[in-house]
């Protein structure tokens, strides 16, 4: 179908921001077209991000558990081996099932889907070079830019997706490297480092800053780093990469202390560059219509996701805010609600963050450092999983729940969880924060026994009173 008839809404980009916006717009009765250049829907998240990484994290975790944990539970396995090709095939199957699923949702919701590269010719017209070699012009009253982000490169480090890989290459290695160096200790680097570490690689994480995952509460971060180190991950913090030599069999990195000083070398087989992501607007023709961006190329929008150009909006990774799939989805829904004359809202202070390693770390709201900066008096309630009966029953008790609440009102300010399933546990905290709940509100909710969630209840009790089980 060509998109040449006028649409109410045209979305450029079919990632979690774009495809969700398109479906929502159609559900609200707006005639909608979504343009995607990749050939499949779901964007970075589904094709080369959230989904394939979680598939490999799960598969590698199963292998690691079979090798190292089953025996503790009286389950004997005689030989445990990795079939990397089969592991990759399961990941690819998960991705392709889900991308096709979104095409199905487009059909169901009557979203017109144009496969090709979109480029503004005016604020209401997008010229699309279609994947089959043609060209079509798609017109719309409202155009939403949802073009997402791309891997940020490091000066002097050329990604070849073989020896020097981005996260995309790290999701598709054909051999388990003996040694892997990860540049950048953000969540993507730690997740991919965990995958290959579990499968047998010696993993060293090199990070310029003095700490890993800068958005994390410092106390949780320390315990998290210790846990990763116990699993064999090595860290070289406050270190910068100043040279890369790929002329030999492997890769020779030249490192230097971040503050300057003597250089050292580090030899490895594969290097993963995961030093952040950058907004993607190449070839979109933003200059042509005069859309404003900031210094790092993010599109500037107001609280209705409108850019400075009338009728043009932007959502997701291409605008400021947490670069996360669920945030992009929320943006998409709120943006379309405004276009349809309703009211939308996204609170970036209440977007949960999850690192899907073992243990997982999940958080929502403020860190203790942020609360201190605010200058509010606060209380901290903590509960370790060592004292949680379910965690002990399953022999998986590394971690804790930490709740920060305002001293005077007991209002919850932030919740931080390190646990095997922290990414699932965090949502009662997200709801509590959304409804301005106090920690006593959580503590007085009956939680089922025996569950890991009881640790959230007990941490809540510990902020204004005493927990029972410690």
Which chain residues interact with ligand FAD by CB under 6 A? 12-18, 35-38, 43-45, 49-50, 53, 117-118, 146-149, 167, 188, 280, 283-284, 316-317, 323-326, 328, 356
DSSP reduced 3-state for 76:
coil
Nearer to ligand FAD, 207 or 331 (CB): 331
Identify whether 14 is preceded by a cis peptide bond (ω within 30 of 0): no
Q: How far is the CB of 440 from ligand FAD (least distance, A)?
A: 31
CB neighbours (10 Å) of residue 352? Answer: 21
Q: How far is the CB of 147 from ligand FAD (least distance, A)?
A: 3
Q: How far is the CB of 58 from ligand FAD (least distance, A)?
A: 12
User: Do residues 235 and 207 touch, judged by C-beta distance below 8 A?
Assistant: yes
> Using a CB cutoff of 8 Å and minimum separation of 24, what contacts does 283-291 make?
283/117, 283/119, 284/12, 284/118, 284/119, 284/120, 284/145, 284/147, 285/119, 285/120, 285/121, 286/120, 288/120, 288/121, 289/120, 289/122, 289/123, 291/145
Residues 6+ apart with CB under 8 A from 190: 182, 205, 212, 213, 228, 233, 355, 357
Nearer to ligand FAD, 16 or 381 (CB): 16
Nearer to ligand FAD, 192 or 255 (CB): 192
Angle, helix 84-108 to helix 50-68, in steps of 10 degrees? 140
Q: How far is the CB of 260 from ligand FAD (least distance, A)?
A: 31
Nearer to ligand FAD, 305 or 378 (CB): 305
Residues 6+ apart with CB under 8 A from 79: none
Q: Which residue has the tokens 């709940």?
A: 437
C-alpha dist (Å) from residue 278 to 117, 245, 299: 19, 25, 12
Q: Tokens representing 40? A: 């499949």
Q: How far is the CB of 468 from ligand FAD (least distance, A)?
A: 34
Q: How far is the CB of 70 from ligand FAD (least distance, A)?
A: 27
Nearer to ligand FAD, 167 or 396 (CB): 167
**Gyration radius (Cα) of the chain, Å:** 24
Angle, helix 50-68 to helix 187-198, in steps of 10 degrees? 40
Q: How far is the CB of 48 from ligand FAD (least distance, A)?
A: 6
Angstrom distance (rounded) from CA 250 to CA 266: 11
Report strand pairing: 164-165 vs 234-236: unpaired
Q: Which of these is catalytic: 68, 427, 449, 469?
A: 449
CA angle 43/44/48 to nearest 5° reads 120
**Is 427 a known active-site residue?**
no
Q: How far is the CB of 49 from ligand FAD (least distance, A)?
A: 3
User: Do residues 177 and 201 touch, judged by C-beta distance below 8 A?
Assistant: yes
User: Which residue in 368, 436, 434, 375 sits closest to 403, CA to CA?
Assistant: 368
Q: How far is the CB of 356 from ligand FAD (least distance, A)?
A: 6
**Helix, strand, coil share (%) of the chain residues, nearest 5:** 35, 25, 40
Distance of CA 365 to the CA centre of its chain: 16
DSSP reduced 3-state for 329:
helix
Angstrom distance (rounded) from CA 117 to CA 257: 42
Nearer to ligand FAD, 381 or 423 (CB): 423
DSSP state of 71: G
Among all residues, which ones are annotated catalytic?
449
């Amino acid at each position: 179908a060509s998109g040449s008839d006028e649409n109410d809404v045209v979305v450029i980009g079919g990632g979690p921001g774009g495809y969700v916006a398109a479906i929502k717009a159609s559900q609200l009765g707006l005639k909608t077209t979504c343009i995607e250049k990749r050939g499949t829907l779901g964007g970075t998240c589904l094709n080369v991000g959230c989904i394939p990484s979680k598939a490999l994290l799960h598969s590698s975790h199963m292998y690691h558990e079979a090798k190292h944990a089953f025996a503790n539970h009286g389950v004997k396995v005689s030989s445990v081996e990795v079939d990397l090709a089969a592991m990759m095939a399961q990941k690819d199957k998960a991705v392709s099932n889900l991308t096709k699923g979104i095409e199905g949702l487009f059909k169901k919701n009557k979203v017109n889907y144009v496969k090709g590269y979109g480029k503004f010719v005016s604020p209401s017209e997008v010229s699309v070079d279609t994947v089959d070699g043609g060209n079509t012009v798609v017109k719309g009253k409202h155009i939403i830019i949802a073009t997402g982000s791309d891997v940020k490169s490091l000066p002097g480090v050329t990604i070849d997706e073989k020896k020097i890989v981005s996260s995309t290459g790290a999701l598709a290695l054909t051999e388990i490297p003996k040694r892997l160096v990860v540049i950048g200790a953000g969540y993507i680097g730690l997740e991919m480092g965990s995958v290959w570490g579990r499968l047998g690689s010696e993993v060293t994480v090199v990070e310029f800053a003095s700490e890993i995952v800068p958005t994390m509460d410092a106390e949780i971060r320390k315990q998290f780093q210790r846990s990763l180190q116990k699993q064999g991950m090595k860290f070289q913090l406050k270190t910068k990469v100043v040279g890369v030599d790929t002329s030999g069999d492997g890769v020779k990195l030249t490192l230097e202390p971040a503050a300057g000083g003597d250089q050292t070398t580090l030899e490895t087989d594969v290097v993963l560059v995961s030093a952040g992501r950058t907004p993607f607007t190449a070839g979109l023709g933003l200059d042509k219509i005069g859309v404003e961006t900031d210094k790092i190329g993010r599109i500037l929008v107001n609280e209705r996701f409108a850019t400075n150009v009338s009728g043009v909006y932007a959502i997701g990774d291409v605008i400021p805010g947490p670069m996360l799939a669920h945030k992009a989805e929320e943006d998409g829904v709120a943006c379309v609600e405004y276009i349809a004359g309703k009211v939308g809202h996204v609170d970036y202070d209440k977007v949960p963050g999850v690192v899907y390693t073992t243990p997982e770390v999940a958080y929502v709201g403020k860190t203790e450092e942020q609360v201190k900066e605010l200058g509010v008096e606060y209380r901290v309630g903590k509960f370790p999983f060592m004292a949680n009966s379910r965690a002990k029953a399953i022999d998986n008790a590394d971690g804790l729940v930490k709740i920060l609440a305002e001293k005077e009102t007991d209002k919850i300010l932030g919740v931080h969880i390190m646990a095997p399933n922290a990414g699932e546990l965090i949502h009662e905290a997200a709801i509590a924060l959304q409804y301005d709940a106090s920690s006593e509100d959580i503590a007085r909710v009956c939680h089922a026994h025996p569950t890991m969630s009881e640790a959230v209840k007990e941490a809540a009790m510990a902020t204004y009173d005493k927990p029972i089980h410690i």
